[in-house]
Amino acid sequence: MNSDAVSTLLAKNPSLKTAKAKLEAMEPGAFVMHKSWGFGQIKSYDENAGRLIIDFEGKPGHPMDPAFCVTTMDILPAKHLLVRQKTDAATIARLIADEPAELVAQALTAYDNNATTAIDLELTLAQVIGEDKFKKWWSAAKKAIAKDPRIAVPAKKTECYVLRDEPVSVESEIVEKFNGTRSARRRILLAEELLDTAGRQEVHADFAAILKGVADAVKDSNQIDGAERLYGAAIRDQLAKLAGVDAATLEPSQSSLIAEARDLPALAEKIPVHFQREFLELTKATHPIECRDILFNLLKSSQGKFTTEVINFLVENDYADDLAATFKRWQTEQNLRAPVLLWIVKNRHSKKFAKLLNELISPRLLSAIFFAIDYEALQAANARRIPLADALSEDQELIPDLLATADAETARDLANTLMLNQGFEELTKKSLLARFIKIFPSIQSLVANDAESKDEQLIVSRASHDRKREEYEVLISKKIPENSKAIAVAREHGDLKENSEYKMAKQDQQVLMAQKTQLQRELAHARISDFKDAPANQVGAGSIVEVKTDAGATARYTILGAWDSDPQKNIISYKTPLGLALLARKVGDRVAVKTGGAEENYTITKITRYVDAAS
């Protein structure tokens, strides 16, 4: 807008006088950011209509009232990244590809005080780079930005990225952050970052103060848990070495924290991955006599990379034979857990572990895998991925390897187990079953039988279906998990051959799993009905039937869904012997029904519809 147009607008609307400079900046060619329409460029000003004409992405030539734009639109400076992407695209493309830290530094110069929040910066960069590419690019760019001495990186997204007046070394920035926080956890992490820089630069003059801060955090803070305290002690001892301090004089020592830990497996779950090997070394040094038993106890409850780390550590410390024997025992006791099973199947072809694993690769191991997958699926609160199930699906040779020594009957039992497993989607089950069939073609009959059973539908009422569904939910969310916990507790009591608690829990498990299978099958075949489609001239589900016996006695029966029987109210399921005998019969028809050893004859005298009587 030229000065005349601005003056005319201010004469009509004096309240805009404070926005005069902004109105004058709304000139053709200026780039803008609107709260609703996003990035755009002013093309012209229509004096007759009193409207700015702005090209927005996907909305060219859009007219807007300047008075409205004062509060809803910002005029972008020429050095703003979005503007430069239009005016100097080649340079911006080069910075994106080769110099992400320089790109951010230049982006910050467009803001007041050379600073903006992490949220605002990320939104701008995402627009410049493209939403589809930004996440991957930003993940790599942040590492380069953190090392740039010109840029202060915020700890939180609500805080600001700042382009410093004077560059600050990475080490000095870490020290500044360390001195600015009272969080014990944050201080330990910052001290770790400082150690990473210490190998490349001279030791900072404040190193002793950093050491004291970490030592105090490890010794006195109640903000950190046992794993964080142990790892903090390891960081502290590395700092002490660089500062020329004898780590043996610092308390608590790493060994004492290991020695006093009440639950080493729980501690191991939380330690950083890169500290796992050191943790195992500390455990061995602290518990030289009990080391073997502790290591196997850690392995039993291990997860992820720690499972691999413990196994490697056991082998390197001459426990390979013990490991092989333990795997066999755990398999016999059904005590092989998912992370260990996953390690076994992934390393089954490894030359290093061939002797250790050869005898385990068997149908029994596949049974253990199915049990572990089913157990994990039942424990999961949501539809999370199950790594062991993924491995079984993705490794095309795994099932053939495990079935190599199986007979047809064993393979059929395992295929049945697969079909009832909660850890696989139906399409995945079919894909896995195809691998069974390729080796044992007779298993094809399982598929045929399953398809036939799915054709049979059960007519049920809404109320009875809800009751059955509730019964199923209680079974899988309460009874089966409680039984699984009981089995796990019983396993810990020792020899399973003489363990009555374990045997009883396993028997209960068989009953519960049979109930689960039956309920799944019934619910899968159920078709909810309101019985409005019941015929009026013959008996069907939803009919009220009056009958007369040969002896002259009369009775009135309501025939409803498969799960609706209530003998006290003369409500019977259409699946009962009497219900089946009456189906499709008409008034005047005689039917014979056997109950126990006796046969009773009935004549149908009247048929009405349940829905008509209810209304």
Amino acid 180: pLDDT: 85
Does this model's pTM top 0.85? My answer is no
Amino acid 160: pLDDT: 92
Amino acid 494: pLDDT: 58
Q: How far apart are CA 475 and CA 472, in angstroms?
A: 5
Amino acid 201: pLDDT: 47
Map tokens 């049945």 to a residue: 416
Amino acid 449: pLDDT: 58
Map tokens 């795994």 to a residue: 398
Segment 109-121 shows an average pLDDT of 92
Residues 6+ apart with CB under 8 A from 532: 542, 611
pLDDT single digits (tens) 460-479: 999 999 999 899 888 888 88
In angstroms, what is the C-alpha Rg of the chain?
Answer: 37
Tokens representing residue 487 in the block: 């089995």
Domain boundaries, the chain: 3-76, 458-528, 543-614
| Fold: same for 3-76 and 543-614 | no
On the question of pLDDT at 179 being above 90, the answer is no
Instruction: Tell whether domain 3-76 is in CATH 2.60.120.
Output: no
**288: DSSP letter:** T
pLDDT single digits (tens) 197-255: 765 445 455 678 889 999 999 999 999 999 999 999 999 999 998 888 999 999 999 99
Q: How far apart are CA 365 and CA 551, in angstroms?
A: 65
Residues 6+ apart with CB under 8 A from 460: 468, 526, 527, 528, 529, 561, 562, 563, 564
CATH architecture of the domain with range 543-614: Roll (3.10)
- 27 vs 597, which has greater pLDDT? 27
On the question of pLDDT at 456 being above 70, the answer is no
Neighbours of 362 (CB within 10 A): 18
Q: Which of 110-119, 200-209, 510-519, 524-533 has the lowest mean pLDDT?
A: 200-209
The count of C-alpha atoms lying within 13 angstroms of the C-alpha of 361, restricted to the half-sphere facing its C-beta, is 21
pLDDT single digits (tens) 482-513: 887 887 777 766 555 556 777 788 778 878 87
555-558 contacts, C-beta under 8 A, 24 or more apart: 557/582, 558/610
Is-contact 282 252, C-beta < 8 A?
Answer: no
Amino acid at 150: R
pLDDT single digits (tens) 274-319: 999 999 999 999 999 999 999 999 999 999 999 999 999 999 999 9
The whole-chain average pLDDT of the chain stands at 88
Tokens representing residue 501 in the block: 């608690």
What dihedral do alpha carbons 141, 144, 147, 151 form, nearest 10°? -50
pLDDT single digits (tens) 256-275: 999 999 899 999 999 999 99
What CATH number has the domain spanning 458-528? 1.10.287.180
